Amino acid sequence: MASSPLLLLLSLLSLVALSLSQQTQTSTERQTLLQIKDDWDNPVALASWSNSTSSSYCNWTGVTCSTDGSVTKLVLSTENITGDIPPSICQLKSLSHLDLSYNEIPGSFPPFLSNCSNLQYLDLSNNWFVGELPSNIDMVLPNITYFCLSDNNFTGEIPTSIGKMTQLQSLWLDNNLFNGTMPRFISNLTNLLQLALAWNSFTPGQLPEEYGSLTNLTYMFIAKANLEGEIPDSFIKLTQLVQFDLSQNSLKGSIPSGIWSFSNLKYLYLYDNNLTGEITINNPFGANSLVEIDLTKNQLTGSIPKSFGTLQNLSILFLSYNQFSGEIPEGIGLLPKLTDLRLFYNNLTGTLPQELGKHSPLWNLEVFNNTLSGAIPANICYNGSFTSLSVQNNIMTGSIPQSLGNCPHLNNLQVDNNRFTGEVPAGVWQVQNLTTVVMSNNMLSGELPSSLPSNLTRLEIVNNRFSGNLPSYSSLILVFKAGGNNFTGDIPSNLSTGMPLLQTLDLSENSISGEIPSSIGSLQSLSMLNLSHNKISGEIPASIGSMLVLTSLDLSSNKLSGEIPSALGNVKFNFLNLSSNDLSGKIPSGIDSTAYDESFLLNPGLCSSVSINGVSSCRSKDGISHGLRNLFIALGVIILVIIVIFALCLMRDYHRKKDASDPAMWKLTSFHRLDFTENSIVRGMTKENLVGSGGSGQVYRVSVSTRAGDVVAVKNIYSKGKLGTKLEREFDSEVKILGSIRHSNIVKLLCCISSPDSKLLVYEYMENSSLDKWLHGKSNFTVGSTEAPIGSLDWPTRLQIAIGAARGLYYMHHECAPPIVHRDVKSSNILLDSEFNAKIADFGLARLLMKPDEPETVSAVAGSFGYMAPG
Ligand SMILES: *[C@@H]1O[C@H](CO)[C@@H](O)[C@H](O)[C@H]1NC(C)=O
Ligand SMILES: *[C@@H]1O[C@H](CO)[C@@H](O)[C@H](O)[C@H]1NC(C)=O
Ligand SMILES: *[C@@H]1O[C@H](CO)[C@@H](O)[C@H](O)[C@H]1NC(C)=O
Ligand SMILES: *[C@@H]1O[C@H](CO)[C@@H](O)[C@H](O)[C@H]1NC(C)=O
Ligand SMILES: *[C@@H]1O[C@H](CO)[C@@H](O)[C@H](O)[C@H]1NC(C)=O
Ligand SMILES: *[C@@H]1O[C@H](CO)[C@@H](O)[C@H](O)[C@H]1NC(C)=O
Ligand SMILES: *[C@@H]1O[C@H](CO)[C@@H](O)[C@H](O)[C@H]1NC(C)=O
Ligand SMILES: *[C@@H]1O[C@H](CO)[C@@H](O)[C@H](O)[C@H]1NC(C)=O
Ligand SMILES: *[C@@H]1O[C@H](CO)[C@@H](O)[C@H](O)[C@H]1NC(C)=O
Ligand SMILES: *[C@@H]1O[C@H](CO)[C@@H](O)[C@H](O)[C@H]1NC(C)=O
């Protein structure tokens, strides 16, 4: 080791130079960070970035330095940053990793990131970015390997230059507003490991078959991206896939069978497409291994080679909402890692793989709405992890397996609408985690247990063969439906204290006797009570009148006697049925209404003071009182006077009337192709066809052709005298705008018929009237007997209605030019057709025709038709 003084000097000098440059470097990095903080308006989260603190800037929030003190990494995720990205950020010359995800950073993509020449990792996800990506994105980010823009509002085409960023390993563009075509050129990115394009509104198109060349891909996420056509066969080359998600597209055809041999595949999501064909999972232990399953013993026979095979890692398989047919392959039951299997809403037949649950920590099985037969796999809870079984709506047989009674985490048991028989294993009723048990519509028998699982909120066993007495439970259950069984004995007297939170109680169609306990009134959450078709006697407890949320009460076909308590008149029933009992006396006011036309049939002792179907009038019973008789005389006189005046008017106006009914006087403006004339409309406006009337006019249900089903609703709008010409013009132009709207969630205005002193608006007829009636069942309207009985809506229907109404409004607000504002959205303006599709009505046009001081008294009957644009 020869060392000369010169060399020593030189190395000393270079050391000094180095430390000097390091010094200046560190002081500029600190300055830059402070500058960035300042440019960002000093966010609270960057409080540690302070000149005053003694700690090194390398210890500041989110900052990582290399050994020489240059900043290489900035991680400012979820720091409440709301300002634009400052250009000063690229003065951090060594910055290679920038994560600004989960902030509220606005603006367009920052092109100056090209100055961050060492950037390899960029995460801008979950911010407020908008606009298009720069077309030269490959030049802006030349060294990028991880590029994440998920959850922003980027729009437009994905730039083709991305195809040149071949160093990319992760590309996340999901959950944006990209609306161009599916980027084919991404297939050039052969180093890609992760690709996410999901949740963008690409123009509908095929999945590029070129993606088959992305053979290193482990993660593909292209859900909800308007994909059409088939899954390309080339995809069988993507053998490294761990997660494969093409759910919620419109893919059809079958799954390329090669996919079933991806040995790394853990998560397969293809639900909600139109895929067909069979699920062809082969024997996961290898195609060549001989494994036979002896179904009679529910056991594997033969040896299982564990060393090789396919789908050894598959944990989640979601293929629901497709049209898969054929049988579920037995092989699925052998997958060693399977935890969650969802195959609901397909056309699957045959039995469930009988080994399901035996070989994997399965926790969830959802196969409802198929045509599956056979039994629930006996060992479904073999590993003790099983939590939820949903096999409803199949044609399965056998009994509920004993093993479910020894399944500590079982939480949900839905087996309704099958053909299950036998008794429910006693152990099931002791699984304390159970919250939902739905077993309706089977042939299950036996008695109910003496106590219920402590977390049970819903028990539905309607239409089975359960028998015995109803036990006195102490339970926080919300829904108890046990109708259509063979239960006997009394209603438990402790019902209200034992099950205080009950919302729904259905004990109908059993052989229950005794009286209704009067304490039932303290069930203050009960909204539905059905005790019909039993042998219940005694009086209706007055306490029912104090049940605040009760909307549906069915006590029909029992042996109830006495008067209907007047308190019942205070309850706002959607549905009330007290028919076929021995009730007597006067129907209490409040429910003594034609709205409850079908509610009191076959109670010979009852009487009504209005004329309700099948109920005799109280007058004829009690005799007409003195006062009433006077009233009748007075009424008679008045009617006589009216007739005389009417006759006089008729004679005087004969000529004019003739003119008015002359079809030539009616002017028809149509907005759709019509196969009826104004004549058939005017002819149909008879008293029998009147379905509603209110402040602004009457609504008629008019049949316009001999074919059944061609029915329209006609609204006759009163106009007080002639309209001013200005008003008339306004009305006409509004009608034209609204007549031109064609949207499936807006009531179709077919045409407008006007005469000098009348306006007829002709709409499509809505079979199911308004949402309002289904929700609140107004008791103070008078309707014709054509009215459908109001029942209650199930939740899927409610959701469908809500979505429909929202679509209608969205269309009016965003897709009409000019936009139209409703100004009076309420349930009575949401009409329902025969399939319960929601259509928005009453944009208030009728109001144009009324004087401003006229009260709006259009009743909620059969819809208050009419439209109006924003004023
Ligand atoms: C931070 O401190 C340095 C010296 O330690 C000083 O030169 C600089 O002006 C200070 N910057 C601010 C913004 O106070
Ligand atoms: C960062 O802070 C830790 C203690 O919090 C300290 O030990 C370390 O020396 C600091 N590093 C720098 C570079 O200042
Ligand atoms: C961001 O804001 C939320 C709500 O104001 C607050 O709870 C959270 O602590 C803030 N986070 C930071 C890092 O300041
Ligand atoms: C992003 O788009 C959504 C839906 O179009 C919109 O609701 C949201 O306000 C937009 N956000 C920004 C920051 O533009
Ligand atoms: C980044 O890319 C440029 C130009 O392509 C190249 O000169 C430079 O070496 C790259 N830097 C890194 C760290 O890869
Ligand atoms: C994509 O969205 C932008 C912004 O909303 C719009 O201007 C453009 O016309 C859309 N392009 C296509 C092809 O729909
Ligand atoms: C994709 O790669 C091919 C061959 O390397 C090349 O010709 C083509 O231009 C590339 N496409 C894009 C969009 O970069
Ligand atoms: C896939 O990755 C390996 C290394 O993990 C690499 O050698 C190979 O070139 C990659 N394949 C492609 C097509 O880029
Ligand atoms: C499936 O196909 C049917 C008929 O071809 C179509 O009505 C339906 O919308 C499709 N569903 C999806 C999710 O694409
Ligand atoms: C699946 O079943 C439904 C209802 O049973 C039927 O309408 C449909 O055509 C079937 N689809 C296929 C592909 O078999």
Query: Of ligand 8's atoms, which has the minimum distance to the CA of residue 191?
Result: 14
Which residues, judged by CB distance below 6 Å to any ligand atom, belong to the binding site of ligand 4? Answer: 128, 130, 153
Domains, the chain: 254-348 (3.80.10.10), 666-765 (3.30.200.20), 771-871 (1.10.510.10)
679 lines ligand 9 (CB under 6 A): no
Rounded alpha-carbon distances, angstroms, from residue 416 to 444, 468, 676: 10, 21, 48
Banded model confidence at residue 289, pLDDT cuts 50, 70, 90: very low
How much is the pLDDT for 553? 96
Question: d(Cα 781, Cα 683) in Å, to the nearest integer?
Answer: 26
User: Ligand 1 center to residue 52 CA distance, Å?
Assistant: 9
Question: d(Cα 837, Cα 839) in Å, to the nearest integer?
Answer: 6
User: Ligand 10 center to residue 353 CA distance, Å?
Assistant: 22
Ligand closest in space to the Cα of 250: 9
User: Ligand 8 center to residue 685 CA distance, Å?
Assistant: 78
Other Cβ atoms within 10 Å of 729 Cβ, number:
11
Binding residues: 715
How much is the pLDDT for 657? 40
Question: d(Cα 727, Cα 848) in Å, to the nearest integer?
Answer: 8
- Nearest protein CA to atom 5 of ligand 1, as residue: 51
Which residues, judged by CB distance below 6 Å to any ligand atom, belong to the binding site of ligand 8? Answer: 190-191, 215-216
- Nearest protein CA to atom 6 of ligand 3, as residue: 80
Least confident of 319-328, 463-472, 519-528, 635-644: 635-644
How much is the pLDDT for 824? 67
- Nearest protein CA to atom 6 of ligand 4, as residue: 153
Ligand closest in space to the Cα of 31: 1
Task: Quick: pLDDT tens for 762-799.
Answer: 888 887 888 887 887 643 333 333 333 456 788 888 88
User: Ligand 3 center to residue 196 CA distance, Å?
Assistant: 29
Q: Given ligand 2 and candidates 49, 56, 70, which is best to mutate, with the most ligand atoms within 8 Å of its CB?
A: 56
Query: Of ligand 8's atoms, which has the minimum distance to the CA of residue 213?
Result: 13
**Distance from CA of residue 490 to its chain's centroid?**
40
Q: What is the 3-state secondary structure (H, E, C) of 745-782?
A: CECCEEEEEEECCEEEEEEECCCCCEHHHHHHCCCCCC
User: Ligand 9 center to residue 349 CA distance, Å?
Assistant: 21
**Distance from CA of residue 695 to its chain's centroid?**
36
Containing H/E element for 367? none
Least confident of 421-425, 455-459, 781-785: 781-785
Query: Of ligand 6's atoms, which has the minimum distance to the CA of residue 156?
Result: 1
Query: What is the mean predicted confidence (pLDDT) over 744-757?
Result: 76
Which residues, judged by CB distance below 6 Å to any ligand atom, belong to the binding site of ligand 1? Answer: 34, 51
Ligand closest in space to the Cα of 34: 1
Query: What is the mean predicted confidence (pLDDT) over 467-481?
Result: 95
Question: d(Cα 26, Cα 28) in Å, to the nearest integer?
Answer: 5
511 lines ligand 9 (CB under 6 A): no
pTM, 2 dp:
0.71
User: Ligand 10 center to residue 34 CA distance, Å?
Assistant: 65
- Nearest protein CA to atom 6 of ligand 9, as residue: 274
Question: d(Cα 78, Cα 32) in Å, to the nearest integer?
Answer: 21
- Strand residue runs (E) in 285-368: 292-294, 299-301, 316-318, 325-327, 340-342, 347-349, 364-366
What DSSP letter does each residue of 828-856 carry, written as one string?
Answer: GGEEE-TT--EEE---SHHHHTS-TTS--
What DSSP letter does each residue of 790-811 carry, written as one string?
Answer: P----HHHHHHHHHHHHHHHHI
Which residues, judged by CB distance below 6 Å to any ligand atom, belong to the binding site of ligand 5? Answer: 118, 142-143
Percent of the chain with pLDDT over 70: 76
Query: Of ligand 8's atoms, which has the minimum distance to the CA of residue 190?
Result: 14
* 610 has a pLDDT exceeding 80: yes
User: Ligand 9 center to residue 274 CA distance, Å?
Assistant: 6
Among 824, 686, 846, CA closest to 760: 846
Task: Sort strands 364-366 and 146-148 into parallel, antiparallel or unpaired.
Answer: unpaired
Query: Of ligand 5's atoms, which has the minimum distance to the CA of residue 118?
Result: 13
Structural contact between residues 116 and 139, judged by C-beta atoms closer than 8 angstroms: no
Least confident of 79-88, 492-501, 582-591, 677-686: 677-686
How much is the pLDDT for 312? 85
What DSSP letter does each residue of 492-505 carry, written as one string?
Answer: PTTHHHHSTT-SEE
How much is the pLDDT for 764? 81
205 lines ligand 6 (CB under 6 A): no
Which residues, judged by CB distance below 6 Å to any ligand atom, belong to the binding site of ligand 7? Answer: 160, 163-164, 185, 188
56 lines ligand 2 (CB under 6 A): yes
661 lines ligand 10 (CB under 6 A): no
Q: Enumerate the active-site residues.
A: 824
Ligand closest in space to the Cα of 157: 6
Question: d(Cα 533, Cα 509) in Å, to the nearest integer?
Answer: 5
Rounded alpha-carbon distances, angstroms, from residue 736 to 325, 346, 749, 760, 762: 49, 45, 10, 14, 13
User: No. of H helices and E strands in the chain?
Assistant: 10, 52
* 35 has a pLDDT exceeding 50: yes
What residue spans of 307-393 are helical by DSSP H? none
Structural contact between residues 349 and 373, judged by C-beta atoms closer than 8 angstroms: yes
Q: What are phi and psi of 200, to 5 degrees?
A: -130, 155
336 lines ligand 6 (CB under 6 A): no
User: Ligand 7 center to residue 189 CA distance, Å?
Assistant: 9
276 lines ligand 9 (CB under 6 A): no
Ligand closest in space to the Cα of 151: 4
How much is the pLDDT for 760? 78
Q: Looking at per-residue confidence, does 630 or 518 come out higher?
A: 518
How much is the pLDDT for 775? 80
How much is the pLDDT for 293? 43
Using CA atoms of 330, 335, 339, 342 in order, give the dihedral in degrees to the nearest 10. -40
Angle at 504 between CA 500 and CA 506, to 5 degrees: 115
Structural contact between residues 72 and 64, judged by C-beta atoms closer than 8 angstroms: yes
Question: d(Cα 62, Cα 813) in Å, to the nearest integer?
Answer: 44
* 705 has a pLDDT exceeding 80: no
Question: d(Cα 728, Cα 301) in Å, to the nearest integer?
Answer: 86
| Amino acid code (one letter) for 142 | P
- Nearest protein CA to atom 5 of ligand 6, as residue: 155
Question: d(Cα 583, Cα 595) in Å, to the nearest integer?
Answer: 19
27 lines ligand 9 (CB under 6 A): no
